Structure 1
Amino acid sequence: MTALLEMCAITKTFPGVKALDSVNLTVREGEIHALVGENGAGKSTLMKVLSGVYPSGSYDGEIRYDGVPVAFNGIADSEKRGIIIIHQELALVPLLSIAENLFLGNECASHGFIDWRETFRRTEALLKKVGLAEAPSTLVDTLGVGKQQLVEIAKALSKDVRLLILDEPTAALSENDSAALLDLLLELKAQGVTSIIISHKLNEVRRVADRVTVIRDGATISTLDAATDEITEGRIVRDMVGRDMAHRYPERERRAGDTLLEVRNWNVWHPLHADRQIIRDVSLSVRAGEVVGIAGLMGAGRTELAMSIFGRSYGQNISGEVSLHGQPIDVSRVDRAIDAGLAYVTEDRKTLGLILEEGINRNITLSNLPAVSNRSMISENRETQVAEGYREAMNIRAPSVFQKAMNLSGGNQQKVVLSKWLFTEPDVLILDEPTRGIDVGAKFEIYNIINDLSARGKGILMISSEMPEMLGMCDRIYVMNEGAFVGELSAEEASQERIMSLIVTH
């Protein structure tokens, strides 16, 4: 099999940081090639070099495509050669139709007028290829994330893609949507499309990848071939983090104390459709030092439940009672929920958890400004001291606390979000997908932080779509389906099969 792409000794430097150090990558025509590594290892930077986001001249090394040296000065240059990149944050316009999104900037036009008949005809053919039955006129914002991902792939196919690059394509997808997307990649491979997939989900990598290249600290560590090498999760993890991780979940002494948080008969209706009930008669409890999970399929209502408890930041016509330490608390607004001792770490850290243009210091202190203020004036010295303390305690990898949040890796961004809420000194932390989109090394650090918090008597309510994570971290698990709890399992009782059985039988 001939090489379609060769990236030779690619070195990319930012001020004070060498992001890539003589990285080599060879991708054969017609294969699915996985690129794995910890957050901050350089995977996305390498793909931005390839696609022209970082133009020729801004890096050292050589890119050869079809055996010929190439120099891309922008995404338009790489797309002309059939190299299409789909970023983790989807680049679709929500209020435009599927057809308009597929051909935006590449319209089917004649004499300055869009040919809508041809646009819809080609859209229908592309949607059929990716397995979508929606009409071309369907607005993108009415689609789920899984279908939007398929629209992105259809958009790539409209540009005669030869090399498709997918950055964390299943990070926000359910298991069923993830499986459908991976099946589509295998179909595209059969049609001659070459793919590079960046993923932290090693089981998915092993399922579809012909070869796997591991990058660590900006350097190529290994390339494994499924035809000749035994590709195991343990081998990949060892190359990614530079050490064995025999125990993916750190040991913790399970020792629950008195009941901290109680929610009784909680009901929530949709914020826009008053006749649609989202949460139905939910009751739960969390004890001091306990990690309690909420498991369920995407759309079960887990995030809606968490947000409605935290200051009623989701829903309307909310009813029920919340108590802490046996006393009723006021959670009618976010500030009151914080004052009562609750904290909520959102599943969407980039949109709802951080101000990306601000530094680590501002993001950490934002939720508790009075603690760094004197007579309503923020003390920059105090703010810096607090941020430095959390940077050290949480092992946030950054040159200084003034580093913008947007320039941190996913794992370090998540540590900043956790630090922000720990600074409010809560009794109960609600963690919504706390390890989404971060690598196994950073996950292990987050797990240690969760265990440390429980050892200090904090109550943890954790939502996760990863079943092994639920089973590895939680003392008890509530199972949720269609807005209601359908079961409660102890750590000893819980298994993936038992959880799924509760979901499908209700």
Structure 2
Amino acid sequence: MKRTEPVLEARGIVKRFPGVLALDDVSLALRAGEVHALVGENGAGKSTLIKVFTGVHRPDEGTLRYRGADTGFATPMEAQRAGISTIYQEVNLVPMMSVARNLLLGREPRGRLGVIDTARLYGEAERLLAGYGVETDVRRPLRTLGMGAQQMVALARAVSVDARVVIMDEPTSSLEPREVETLFGVIRRLREQGIAVVYVSHRLDELYRVCDRVTVLRDGRVVHTGAIEGLERLRLISLMLGRDLGEIRAEGSTRFTRRAASGEAAGNGRRPLVEARGLTRRHVLSGVDVSVREGEVVGLGGLLGAGRSETAKAIVGALPLDGGQVLVAGRPLRGGSTSLAIRAGISLLPEDRKAEGIVPTLSVRENIALAALPALATAGVVSEARIDRVVEIFMRRLRIKAASPYQLVSELSGGNQQKVLLARWLAVRPKVLLLDEPTRGIDVGAKAEVQALIDELAGEGLGVLLISSDLEELVEGADRILVLREGAVAGELSGDEVTEERIMETIAEQSDE
């Protein structure tokens, strides 16, 4: 292999799934001794590309080259044996086994009769971990270690298998600052040893600190590859989000926005319907404050992993917290359960409607009525007539297109499935509606209808928390915007500050750390 030839290279990779083009002519070259950042928002194709590299998926088109030869890995084990190791955000080791067995699983030192030599096993494990700043009894079960220590064990294992390529997927998500510094030291050693590193992270400070080059994926395509040094943070963010700074500035003075139509932000002078104070969860949220007033649409902006969805889940009790509290009409919401939040008037439309929203085996009617059943019952008996009335009202109001209320919800278009979910939560008559990416994956017409409905609901006095990766949607739909970065509020924008340019500038501001 020539010295200048990439150690691992994707050439024109195409990967399709039913109804989805996940990777579209993607090319990426990893060089020995280089740390290459791979970035992009949800659905950009990062995970799919990693799975192609590691033998989880076979590409439909294109070529994978490794160490100068065309190749294709049939299984992750085959890729690992060839020298491609992956460290996932979620530690993929065996929690019940000892630390030593996890480190050397499949490579345990054995005696003449094939029996594991435990003395050598423990000795080698201790030597391996010493280089990663982890001091622990290697005989104890892995599950007894903290998440940060487990992550370091996963890292030590990945590097110790004679890897030529190490893929790190959000490696610092569970690490303390001291452990992050140790990780960066390991990455420097890998670079010096000529090992290629793929570094996936949403934390800009980390990217600029440890990476040499960066590839940006958006909607399954490569939109930029080049040196990270000299690439402005604002430019990197605009590439990830698909918004051109020049266009944004040109549109800023002429765009028709909800705020311009309604005058002063609806929430001014009104008491909050819901307040979240100091929401904190280790490695996820850090003292987040959010309030939503009657008739107000509050936007939550930020990159993938900034803590937007986690904030919404914390408000409705779906994410356990280490600190902070939620108040409804000035009173603390105690108990931390979703059922209490719903009874208090807070409903969440989740980001992943298929995994966390619709019940595909049920009808449109059943999906709409699901959350409202307790309110539609008398002495524990549900009135079918009342269900029919509620379903008819919301199917008509939201213009849900279905053959009948009894049609399976899984047979509807994505936009109509989203409307069914909206109908479900509106049927419980909430005071505050938390909408997580409400228009993602639906067509333009359905998107406009959902956006119009949000405006209509706010006009009727409902408080709305709007989470969106679409900057234009945030700017046009929100009265004010909280920008999150790495689990904390980086800034609040209101009035004339509510622009796409200011959102990106706030995201791009370098942290003080």
TM-score when scaled to structure 1?
Answer: 0.63
Contact persistence 1:291–1:474 (CA under 8 A): no
Alignment of 1:474-489 (within 5 A): none
2-structure distance, mates of 1:68, 1:129: 33
Change over 3 Å in CA distance of 1:222–1:73 after alignment to 2: same
Q: Which of 19, 29, 32 is the matching residue for 1:26?
A: 29
Q: Is 1:5 aligned to residue 25 of structure 2?
A: no
Q: Is 1:40 aligned to residue 65 of structure 2?
A: no
Q: Which residue pairs with 2:136 in the alignment? A: 134
Change over 3 Å in CA distance of 1:416–1:45 after alignment to 2: farther
Change over 3 Å in CA distance of 1:120–1:450 after alignment to 2: farther
Q: Is 1:243 aligned to residue 247 of structure 2?
A: no
Q: Which residue pairs with 1:445 in the alignment? A: 470
Q: Is 1:402 aligned to residue 399 of structure 2?
A: no
Q: Which amino acid aligns with 2:125?
A: T
Contact persistence 2:15–2:21 (CA under 8 A): yes
1-structure distance, mates of 2:203, 2:137: 32
Change over 3 Å in CA distance of 1:374–1:48 after alignment to 2: farther
2-structure distance, mates of 1:326, 1:364: 32
Q: Deviation per CA, 1:131-182, whole angstroms, max 9, x where unpaired?
A: 2222213433333333322121111023121100112223455666545433
Q: Which residue pairs with 2:205 in the alignment? A: 203
Q: Which of 338, 341, 344 is the matching residue for 1:340?
A: 344
1-structure distance, mates of 2:483, 2:130: 38
Contact persistence 2:398–2:419 (CA under 8 A): no
Contact persistence 2:99–2:140 (CA under 8 A): yes
Q: Deviation per CA, 1:92-141, whole angstroms, max 9, x where unpaired?
A: 23333322322334433343432222221121122122222222134333
Q: Which amino acid aligns with 1:74?
A: T
1-structure distance, mates of 2:198, 2:420: 30
Contact persistence 1:24–1:220 (CA under 8 A): yes
Query: Structure 2: which 5+ residue stretches go unaligned?
Result: 250-256, 279-288, 301-309, 377-381, 402-407, 439-466, 496-508
Q: Which residue pairs with 1:275 in the alignment? A: none
Contact persistence 2:359–2:367 (CA under 8 A): no
Q: Which residue pairs with 1:152 in the alignment? A: 154
2-structure distance, mates of 1:321, 1:70: 53
Contact persistence 2:36–2:199 (CA under 8 A): yes
Change over 3 Å in CA distance of 1:257–1:33 after alignment to 2: same
Q: Which residue pairs with 1:225 in the alignment? A: 227
Q: Which amino acid aligns with 1:66?
A: R
Contact persistence 2:369–2:427 (CA under 8 A): no
Change over 3 Å in CA distance of 1:60–1:325 after alignment to 2: closer
2-structure distance, mates of 1:218, 1:238: 16
Change over 3 Å in CA distance of 1:338–1:113 after alignment to 2: same
**Partner secondary structure for residue 91 of structure 2:** coil
**Partner secondary structure for residue 471 of structure 1:** strand
Identity %: 34
Q: Which amino acid aligns with 1:243?
A: R
Q: Which residue pairs with 1:167 in the alignment? A: 169
Q: Which amino acid aligns with 1:109?
A: R
**Partner secondary structure for residue 402 of structure 1:** helix
Q: Deviation per CA, 1:327-370, whole angstroms, max 9, x where unpaired?
A: 78775864233112235799xx89xx837996899998697253
Q: Which residue pairs with 1:274 in the alignment? A: none
1-structure distance, mates of 2:369, 2:100: 41
Displacement of 1:233 in angstroms is 1.9
Contact persistence 2:224–2:239 (CA under 8 A): yes
Alignment of 1:100-115 (within 5 A): 100-110=101-111, 111-115=113-117
Q: Which residue pairs with 1:234 in the alignment? A: 234
TM-score when scaled to structure 2?
Answer: 0.62
Q: Is 1:259 aligned to residue 284 of structure 2?
A: no
Contact persistence 2:318–2:338 (CA under 8 A): yes
Deviates more, 1:200-209 or 1:40-49: 200-209
Change over 3 Å in CA distance of 1:3–1:354 after alignment to 2: same
Q: Deviation per CA, 1:196-217, whole angstroms, max 9, x where unpaired?
A: 1122223322221111122222
Alignment of 1:35-434 (within 5 A): 35-55=38-58, 58-110=59-111, 111-173=113-175, 177-226=179-228, 230-244=230-244, 255-260=267-272, 288=294, 289=296, 324-325=328-329, 334-343=338-347, 354=356, 368-370=371-373, 375=384, 402=410, 424-428=428-432
Change over 3 Å in CA distance of 1:500–1:85 after alignment to 2: closer
Deviates more, 1:24-33 or 1:14-23: 14-23
Displacement of 1:52 in angstroms is 0.7
Structure of greater Rg: 2
Contact persistence 1:51–1:72 (CA under 8 A): yes
2-structure distance, mates of 1:118, 1:376: 73
2-structure distance, mates of 1:4, 1:131: 29
1-structure distance, mates of 2:422, 2:97: 36
Contact persistence 2:8–2:64 (CA under 8 A): yes
1-structure distance, mates of 2:117, 2:399: 57
2-structure distance, mates of 1:167, 1:16: 26
Q: Which amino acid aligns with 2:61?
A: D
Q: Which amino acid aligns with 1:161?
A: A
Q: Which amino acid aligns with 2:491?
A: L
1-structure distance, mates of 2:219, 2:47: 13
Equivalent pairs, count: 420
Displacement of 1:243 in angstroms is 2.1
1-structure distance, mates of 2:84, 2:200: 15
1-structure distance, mates of 2:487, 2:326: 27
Change over 3 Å in CA distance of 1:107–1:219 after alignment to 2: same
